Structure 1
Amino acid sequence: MSDKQPSEWQKSITGDWHGFPAVYAPDGTHVGVNKVTRSSVFEDGKTTYWMKTDFDAVGQLANRFECGEFGFGVLDSDQNRIYTGPDLIGSGRPFGPLVDSKYFSPGWNTDLRTINHVIEERGVQVYSSQLFEADTLVAVFNGLYVRTHDHDTNPETQRTVAEFLENEKKIGKKPFLLPQKQSGTWTGNMDVYNVQQEKVGVNQVTIKYTPITLLRARMDVTIEGVINRQFSYERSRYENHHQYHGPDVFGNAIAYGRYLFGIQHFYGEAMKFWSRDVMLDANNTLCSMWQFYNSQQEEFTTFGVLDWTPGDFVLKAQYL
């Protein structure tokens, strides 16, 4: 028997996770779903990751990603989780309740960036995978997972999971849309980790949102805590393509259903941040991950849940 203990991340993901991630082509077209059950099991000093997949997709991606059951080794630690194959080869970086992984799938012939964020108070894991050939995006998977410990034996748990999965299957392809006519404010706390993966504090985030037209809005962002910044910009949307027009940050983003991936550059500085913003529910709740870079080098990884408080309707019916 080994006296090795599981990492804090490994402890946080014990149990079975059930999800129905949506599957997207590179341009953001929804092409199907993938029913998944997965678990990471620590036993006798060794960690094994299990995953069963069942794709229901159309076109080339359906043939490419149908692989059945995964079972691969993991060298578990809170600094690096190293995936030792045969299904996945690479590593993941834990930041408390979030892990940011980059690895290669020989069966899919893709390099992946996968982000899993466990929101304990909501009982869900917020998942996304961007799949690449070299630097070329070939697919995106994303969706929420729910955890169980007695799914195989408890009929009530089975019913709860079935209802959750059916709902995920329906709403997984819903587009990332901000309120078109109503102003409001997002507020919340985002945990802050440095490049050594140490938690160094919390940012208090406030985003004031004001629609200008049905496809354009003004954002006024205040960050206080470890990072102290105020910046404003106008954003626009065409289909699932988003653009940020300054004056303080410039950049763009593309949405894959409820998930928006973007990059914003601070004007006149060697600063930018990469973002993954997820519309969690019908109340416009955002689950955000913002990764800040200084002089092209990662400086802080921040993440948290931002709650929406509606304001006035600013685009009202017009009359002659």
Structure 2
Amino acid sequence: MMAERPSAWQTRIEGEWHGRPSLFDATGTWAGYEDIRRSSVFENGTTTYYMDGGLEGGGPLAGRFRLGAPFAFGVTDSDSDRIYTGPDFHGTGRPYGGFVDAHYYGPGWQVDLNTWNHVLPDGETQVYSSVLYQGWAAVGCFNGVYKRSTDYDSNEATRTAIEDFLASETRNGPTPHILPTKAHGAFRGDCELWGADQKRIGDVRVRIELEPLDLLRTRLRTSWEGAVERRFTTDRRRDGFRCFYEGPDAWGNAQAFGRASYLSLHLADALKVKGREFIIDAGPGMRAGETLTVVYEIFDGNVLSRVLHGVLHWEAA
């Protein structure tokens, strides 16, 4: 179907995006990098998505995720459902403001993918992850941060800035998601709340207070104020790349792939939260990062009702 103009999401992601997402196996162990330049082009009423790059490393996963040609696939562009029409990806994605939740299949990789793309409020940074599935079982994950350019091939300053950014992603990409272990403080920021109908509901002030109990356990006091009101406390225990939320107000677990932790929380009143918490400035060394990007899908009785996303910043107590 030809469209007269690009959708709001298509306009949001115009230009070329540069990244070096890391590949992790199902246990959360880092395996390699994927160098990617990607763009989606709206031209003559149709949209085509391009991805050019290659896998470096990969270990036992290399045979599955190395390809000998760039990706390209058609997109039925829409602010409702974006349909991926192949040949390299088949499925659909649904935008909620600056965030898209996409589910599709990649014949070349032979995996089902759940991709979360979050364009941050600066409009130039995109936090990306694709969890890779064989049936219902996760077999790995790609994730990382992208930066936009519009003149990479013609502007030396742009190329230098992108190369410096990619060098930082090379350094930071394998870093595990670990919260501050000895510092009492909070991540806080203003987030956007969207309904399952893709209409913006309003703003929410999100605060996640951290009280370290020991080197592996942290008490989290979470508050949402504004378009949704909610407070809950839970003790979070880390075991390697896995975490467990052990009450008193929320129970669940999480799996980390690098800087991103993918969580599932259950509260007592049939409310469930499926989320991604990505510490984008975490790096090697004995310090935690200070910028946490969050996406939470909120389910009432197993039915998606709202999507909450934004950027939180660390404040020491």
With structure 1 as the length reference, what TM-score do the two structures score?
0.94
For 1:125 and 1:225, the matched residues in 2 are separated by 25
For 2:250 and 2:31, the matched residues in 1 are separated by 33
The question of whether the paired residues in 2 share the 8 Å contact of 1:272 and 1:293 is answered with yes
Q: Specify the SS of the correspondent of 2:63.
A: helix
Residue identity matched to 2:62? A
For 1:154 and 1:284, the matched residues in 2 are separated by 31
Q: Specify the SS of the correspondent of 1:138.
A: strand
For 2:123 and 2:244, the matched residues in 1 are separated by 31
The question of whether the paired residues in 1 share the 8 Å contact of 2:3 and 2:77 is answered with no
- The alpha-carbon deviation at position 59 of structure 1 amounts to 2.4
What's 1:260 paired with?
Answer: 261
The question of whether the paired residues in 1 share the 8 Å contact of 2:172 and 2:281 is answered with no
The question of whether the paired residues in 1 share the 8 Å contact of 2:38 and 2:49 is answered with yes
1:159-198 mapped onto 2 (5 Å cutoff): 159-198=160-199
The question of whether the paired residues in 1 share the 8 Å contact of 2:94 and 2:102 is answered with yes
Residue identity matched to 1:277? E
Matched, 1:296 2:297: no
Q: How many residues align?
A: 309
The question of whether the paired residues in 2 share the 8 Å contact of 1:53 and 1:66 is answered with no
Distance change >3 Å, CA 120–CA 227, structure 1 → 2: closer
Q: Specify the SS of the correspondent of 2:152.
A: coil
Matched, 1:209 2:210: yes
For 1:50 and 1:296, the matched residues in 2 are separated by 35
What's 1:102 paired with?
Answer: 103
For 1:270 and 1:119, the matched residues in 2 are separated by 30
For 2:52 and 2:262, the matched residues in 1 are separated by 27
For 2:238 and 2:157, the matched residues in 1 are separated by 42
Matched, 1:286 2:292: yes
The question of whether the paired residues in 2 share the 8 Å contact of 1:178 and 1:284 is answered with no
Q: Specify the SS of the correspondent of 1:83.
A: strand
Residue identity matched to 1:62? A
Q: How far does the alpha carbon of each residue in 1:211-244 deviate from its partner, in whole angstroms, 9 at most, with x for none? A: 1111111111111122211111111111111111
For 1:138 and 1:186, the matched residues in 2 are separated by 31
Match of 2:315 among 309, 315, 319: 309
For 1:194 and 1:40, the matched residues in 2 are separated by 26
For 1:97 and 1:230, the matched residues in 2 are separated by 25
What's 2:286 paired with?
Answer: none
What's 1:318 paired with?
Answer: none
Q: How far does the alpha carbon of each residue in 1:10-41 deviate from its partner, in whole angstroms, 9 at most, with x for none? A: 00101000000000000001000000000000
For 1:185 and 1:58, the matched residues in 2 are separated by 36
Matched, 1:133 2:134: yes
For 1:264 and 1:148, the matched residues in 2 are separated by 37
Q: How far does the alpha carbon of each residue in 1:27-75 deviate from its partner, in whole angstroms, 9 at most, with x for none? A: 0010000000000000010101000121012323111111230111110
- The alpha-carbon deviation at position 123 of structure 1 amounts to 2.3
For 2:11 and 2:211, the matched residues in 1 are separated by 42
What's 2:229 paired with?
Answer: 228
- The alpha-carbon deviation at position 122 of structure 1 amounts to 6.6
For 2:256 and 2:234, the matched residues in 1 are separated by 19
Q: How far does the alpha carbon of each residue in 1:150-183 deviate from its partner, in whole angstroms, 9 at most, with x for none? A: 1111111111111111110110000111111110
The question of whether the paired residues in 1 share the 8 Å contact of 2:40 and 2:50 is answered with yes
For 2:58 and 2:242, the matched residues in 1 are separated by 23
Residue identity matched to 1:115? W
What's 1:89 paired with?
Answer: 90
Q: Percent identity?
A: 40
- The alpha-carbon deviation at position 253 of structure 1 amounts to 0.3
For 1:182 and 1:144, the matched residues in 2 are separated by 26
For 2:316 and 2:125, the matched residues in 1 are separated by 25
What's 1:22 paired with?
Answer: 22
What's 2:285 paired with?
Answer: none
For 1:116 and 1:237, the matched residues in 2 are separated by 26
- The alpha-carbon deviation at position 3 of structure 1 amounts to 6.9
Structure 1 unaligned residues grouped into runs of 5+: 312-320
Which ranges of 4 or more aligned residues in structure 1 deviate by more than 6 Å? none
Distance change >3 Å, CA 286–CA 3, structure 1 → 2: closer
Distance change >3 Å, CA 208–CA 120, structure 1 → 2: closer
Residue identity matched to 1:6? P
With structure 2 as the length reference, what TM-score do the two structures score?
0.95
Distance change >3 Å, CA 170–CA 251, structure 1 → 2: same
What's 1:316 paired with?
Answer: none
